[in-house]
Amino acid sequence: MSEYCLFCHEELIEHISWSTFFSKREEELVCPSCQEQLEEITGKRCDICSRPLERIDAQYVVGTRCSDCVRWENDSEWQGYLAGNLSIYLYNDFLKEIISQYKFRGDYLLAKVFAQKLKTSIRMLHADYLVPIPLSTERQFERGFNQAEALLREAGLHSTHLLQRTHGEKQSKKSREDRIHLSQIFQLTDSFVISGKRILLIDDIYTTGSTLRHAAKLLRKAGADYVFALTLARS
Amino acid sequence: MRFAIFDKKLVPEPLLSEPQTTQTIAKIGEIPQPSRNLHFQYCNDVRKRLIGKQLLLDEIPHTLDEIHQHYEQGYITLRKGIVFEKGTPRCQRCGNQKPHLFSSFPCSRCRELCTYCRKCIMMGRVSTCTPLYSWSDSECQSARETANLVWNGTLSFGQQVASDEVVKAISTNDDLLVWAVCGAGKTELLFEGIRYALSLQKRVCIATPRTDVVQELTPRLQAVFPQIDVASLYAGSPDRHKYSPLTISTTHQLFRFYQAFDVVIVDEVDAFPYSMDETLQYAVQNARKERSSMIYLSATPNQQWQKDCRQGKRNFVTIPARYHRKPLPVPELKWCGNWDKKLKQNKLPPNVMKWLKIRLDMEKQALLFIPKIELIPKLLAILQKLDSRIEAVHAADPERKAKVQSMRQKDIPILVTTTILERGVTFPNLDVAVLGSEEQIFTASALVQIAGRVGRSAQYPTGNITFFHFGRTEAMLQARKQIQNMNAEAAKKGMIDIE
Ligand SMILES: [Zn+2]
Ligand SMILES: [Zn+2]
Ligand SMILES: [Zn+2]
Ligand SMILES: [Zn+2]
């Protein structure tokens, strides 16, 4: 039990109740008011990418999917590679700030806050390999750690590095078209049996899904049975 | 980053031509400092960015190669970002020593478990493998800048005395507390000292806890020192890399400075957050040179400082009177019973109600200070029945600026406020009441500041200040005593006109 909220540094007050005595309580790391601002995704979501369908304009919903996923799945080049993505939280302003402090300012400790939730979700998904989306060497040096790998590590889970970057990833400013047509952003690291495996990709945010789809396509072509993704937040 | 030591010099790992034993900067005992090669042509941009600063590698837009070269030639100094004192870490940038504000992570830069400071993480991560880069001396050898003072106002007697003391403290590199009552005119008394310091090629900084004060002071000082390009620093300001002999900064922005200033003027030392936050105080100390002068400004120094002054342990000068030579209005203390309970019954204590009604009848504007924001809805419900134009403000109020503006335009007869309007704002003809002045938030210093809102202008130099309480507190009595003492001192020195 830490004494201070990891987000706002307020002192944490321990609430003792009967349930505290009888059940092993989850470790509290953030205060109730910060906890409250983390919104879990509930309700109808796109059955591929987890996008909350109630929150988007009806014209972008096609049956049980969002129009983006429909577009991906209609494209023979991408069809069927990424089985789906599960996101835990809405990427609201609060989480945006937390993730930016975590990833860009480099406040590694914040990974701990998500460990419990991540662990529970990962357990449900039964994967042979947990694969964090890799950073380029320069980016990893710059940040000091890989944010996806740190999430797994703090959840006490083992990362398998099946992938590496082929070149730098200065892509956040490029358009969706550019990103899709980037020939190949990952390559395999060898030394692992991929054929017939269930692979779970891990990243912090699902934005357009193109990074994850690139990874999924490469792994499926190498013989993986099933490639799924787990992300902290769905933007 | 890891470093090898080669020929009594650090070499950063990425610049090694062949593998060498390397270690993190934290583990190197004494960091070797090459002596200066006077024939080296240094880069002026590197110098301008690093002089008097302490920056992370990521904050310097030059290549590692170029920075390393300046180090090798003796122009750049590296310091450890984190040092361990008896096994516990201390951040050298912000001074943080609280164990819960440190954490460790497996670091890709040094490939070790790296301890980092969470306190100042918003300015980029300082960890055990992080060097802080500075220019190796902090003298500004720049071309002699002329600093004419363009101001033709006159100082009051009290201001003149303080101004002389400021000049003296700067000339002898001493510290000085200027204890000036609210409304004494503290900005003007600094002009001569700043001019004097600039004429000696000294570098001056005015630090204040609040961004709005930085923004207000900048044009005033720029106007009186037109030949100097004043640097104005606050979160998000465009002057971040500007080098200037006169810098006006929030205390927070000083974290990036290191032994930069010959004179640091700290405004409102008693004000939150500076008074509460040890790391801000560390930042201010870190920003001054070893031989330098520190001028503290305060209307309400804390008890310890007041005691130090009385016992002769602190160099100080007082300005007990306002610029307009009228005494400070002395607070009236009035018992109003259990106002909290009354409020719950949607009522106000009768004497508070009467006080407010009189102001409305006289059409004299008033501020009503309250101890907590939660009281606002109930209070407004009662008060808006008296006059529908009555409004309330608090720190997080998005319409705060607009409401202060309406108050200035006299569109609001009475403004209910939390302690956010305790400092800074002045309305010319005003009465002030405090409801629940016994509450903890109303410290002696807060109450003196609140009382200081009354009678500020020469046109309306008097007014009423009443503390409505449910039991007298030490803070209330101290506040009143401080004000009475100042008036007595001012009378004795002939600094107020008594009719
Ligand atoms: Zn919190
Ligand atoms: Zn979708
Ligand atoms: Zn720090
Ligand atoms: Zn490190």
Mapping DSSP to helix (H, G, I), strand (E, B) and coil, where does residue A228 land? strand
Spans of chain B, pLDDT less than 50: none
Contact flag B127-A144 (C-beta cutoff 8 Å): yes
> How many CB atoms are located within 10 Å of the residue B41 CB?
7
Partner A, chain B 93-112, Cβ-Cβ below 8 Å: 100-101, 103, 105-109
* pLDDT score at A179: 53
Chain A interface disruption, residue of B24, B121, B277, most A CBs within 10 A? B121
How many Å lie between the centroid of ligand 4 and the Cα of residue A212?
Answer: 29
Residue-wise pLDDT tens digits, A124-143:
999 999 999 999 999 999 99
Selecting from B101, B103, B125 the residue whose C-beta is nearest the C-beta of A105 gives B125
Residues 25-64 in B contacting A (C-alpha not used; CB under 8 Å): 58
Band of pLDDT at residue A168, cut at 50, 70 and 90: low
B395, B420 contact by CB (below 8 A): yes
Which candidate from B103, B109, B124 shows the least CB-CB separation from A108? B103
**Do B48 and B181 sit in the same domain of this protein?**
no
Tell me, in angstroms, the distance from the centre of ligand 1 to residue A44's CA: 29
What's the gap in Å between the CA of B302 and the closest CA on chain A? 26
Domain assignment of residue B409, yes or no? yes
Residues with CB under 5 A from ligand 4 (ion): B 107, 109-110, 114, 129
Domain range for B315: 157-319
Provide the pLDDT for residue A28: 81
Looking at the structure, do residues B390 and B250 belong to the same domain, yes or no? Answer: no
Of A3, A109, A143, the CB nearest to B118: A109
How many pairs of residues across A and B have Cβ atoms under 8 Å apart? 43
With both helix axes pointing from N to C terminus, report the angle between B444-451 and B474-492 in degrees, rounded to the nearest 10. 50
B309 in contact with A, Cβ within 8 Å: no
CA of B419 to the centre of ligand 3 (A): 30
Tell me, what DSSP letter sits at residue A13? P
Q: Residue A163 pLDDT more than 60? A: yes
Q: What is the pLDDT of residue A173?
A: 52
Structural domain contains residue B143: no
Give the global pTM: 0.82
Please report whether residue B141 resides in a domain: no
Inter-chain residue contact A2 with B100, CB threshold 8 Å: yes
* Cα-based angle B344, B348, B350 (whole degrees, multiple of 5): 140
Indicate if B173 and B293 belong to the same structural domain: yes
* CATH number reported for the structural domain that contains residue B236 in this entry: 3.40.50.300
Query: DSSP label at B329?
Result: P
The two three-digit tokens of residue B310, written as one number: 């009385």
Q: Do B76 and B204 fall within a single domain?
A: no
Chain A contact residues (CB < 8 Å to B) = 2-4, 9, 101, 105-109, 140-146, 150, 153
Q: Is the same domain home to B430 and B298? A: no
Q: Report CB contact under 8 Å: A3, B108.
A: no
CA-to-CA distance for A31 and B275, rounded, in angstroms?
26
Residue A86 pairs in a beta bridge with A230
For residues B277 and B400, state if they share a domain: no
d(Cα B311, Cα B323) in Å, to the nearest integer? 28
The complex's ipTM?
A: 0.89
In terms of CA atoms, which chain A residue is nearest residue B101? Answer: A9
pLDDT at A195 over 60: yes
Give the one of B109, B122, B125 whose C-beta lies nearest to A141's C-beta: B109
Q: Are residues B210 and B184 in the same domain?
A: yes
Question: Are residues B100 and A3, on separate chains, in Cβ contact within 8 Å?
Answer: yes
Q: How far is the CA of A68 from the centre of ligand 2 (A)?
A: 6
How far away is chain B from the Cα of A6, in angstroms, using its nearest Cα?
Answer: 9
**pLDDT at residue B376, as a whole number:** 94
For B112, the closest chain A residue by CA position comes to A144
Contact yes or no for B100 and A105 at CB 8 A = no
Give the CA distances from residue A96 to residues A102, A103, A205, in Å, rounded to whole numbers and listed in that order.
10, 10, 10
- Please give, rounded to a whole number of angstroms, the shortest distance from the CA of A161 to a CA of chain B: 15
Question: Which of A2, A108, A143 to substitute to test the interface with B, most B CBs within 10 Å?
Answer: A108
* The two three-digit tokens of residue A138, written as one number: 């320069």
Residue B167 near residue B204 (C-beta atoms within 8 A): no
For chain A, give every domain's residue range.
1-37, 45-234
- Is the preceding omega at residue B273 within 30 degrees of 0, hence cis? yes
Distance CA(B210)–CA(B221), nearest Å, equals: 17
Token pair in block for residue B160: 């003149």
Contacts of A153 in chain B (CB under 8 A): 106
Same structural domain, B337 and B315: no
Q: Indicate the average pLDDT of chain A.
A: 88
Secondary structure (3-state) at B205: strand
DSSP states of B93-130 as a string?
TT----GGGEEEEE-TTTSSEEEEESTTGGG---BTTP
Inspect the interface and report whether the beta carbons of B106 and A3 lie closer than 8 Å. no
- Ligand 1: distance of its center to the CA of B174 in Å? 42
> What is the per-residue pLDDT for B140?
56
Q: In this structure, are B449 and B371 located in the same domain?
A: yes
- CA–CA distances in Å: residue A115 to residues A92, B101, B109, B251, B292: 19, 20, 24, 36, 49
Residue in B100, B109, B125 closest to A4 by CB: B100
Work out the pLDDT band at A23, boundaries 50, 70, 90: very low
b/e map of B266-298 (b: 16 or more CB within 10 Å)? Answer: bbbbbbbebbebebbbbbbebbbbeebbbbbbb
What class is the A45-234 domain?
alpha beta
What confidence tens digit (pLDDT) does each residue in A33-71 have?
999 999 999 999 999 999 999 888 999 999 999 999 999
- Average pLDDT on A103-111 reads 95
What is the distance in angstroms between the Cα of B309 and the nearest Cα belonging to chain A? 35
A103 phi and psi angles, rounded to 5 deg = -85, -50
| Residue at B327 is within a domain | no
**Contact between A107 and B121 using a beta-carbon 8 Å cutoff:** yes
For A175, phi then psi, to 5°, come to -80, 170
For residue B469, give the amino acid letter.
H
Total domain count, chain B? 3
CB contact set of B237 (below 8 Å; sequence gap of 6+): B214, B253
> Would you call B105 and A3 a contact, using CB atoms and an 8 Å cutoff?
no
Whole-angstrom Cα distance, residue B151 to residue B148? Answer: 9
Helices (H), B180-268: 188-199, 211-224
pLDDT of residue A24: 45
Residue A234 — φ and ψ, nearest 5°? -110, 120
pLDDT score of B139: 66
> Looking at per-residue confidence, does A168 or B236 come out higher?
B236
Largest interatomic CA distance in chain A: 58
Query: Among partner residues A105, A141, A145, which is closest to B122 by beta-carbon distance?
Result: A105
